[in-house]
A and B are shown apart, each in its own frame.
Chain A
């Protein structure tokens, strides 16, 4: 049972480049979310999904896109990377918002 798998673990991008952070879970969870973690800011919600085909914005959605075509996968897309998007990104999944969330190992992204 792999849990929540995030790839890659580390990434360096140049300003303006695009990339996709992958997130997959094998627990049949309906609820998935993306957070970014910055020093002194804690975890801030980017986007979340309550099931396949349904996504919604969190508190810091600008510059990020998501889709949820399957229950298992919830990729996060950066269309045009900016230095302000340098952060550690976490994907999480749970049965619902009100149950324990399982987190991936995180992706450390640096935009230069």
Chain B
């Protein structure tokens, strides 16, 4: 069973608008880190943002921010002022048991001009 769930296989957004990608996870750990990675058509995986679970403040990196709800095990990614270069697959990642890191199935985001 998938331990990281991304319920939106595909999404699209108009250039300059805002879009939110959802992610839920399942871990028994208390202190951990969550990640969003981007995979453009080049296939190269790139870190977008990282969230520390023991911090209540949501992480922000320029146009990218997260809405982290620890009790609900929810970790959504908000992209503001979407740009054509944001078109990519986005993967959420969460720790599992025994020190491993699991990824979701991904959301394919298309930014339309």
Contact = CB atoms under 8 A, between A and B. Distances in A.
Interface of A: 33, 35, 40-45, 48, 50, 56, 58-59, 88, 90, 92, 97-101, 103, 105-106
B102 A41 contact: no
Contacts of B33: 98-99
Contacts of A97: 95, 99-101
Interface of B: 4, 6, 9, 32-33, 35, 37, 43-45, 47, 50, 91, 95-96, 98-106
A61 to B, nearest CB: 11
B101 A41 contact: no
A106 B43 contact: yes
Contacts of B35: 100-101
A33 B37 CA distance: 16
A98 B100 CA distance: 10
B95 A90 contact: no
A16 B106 CA distance: 31
A4 to B, nearest CB: 10
Contact of B91 (A33, A43, A56, A105): A43
A58 B43 contact: no
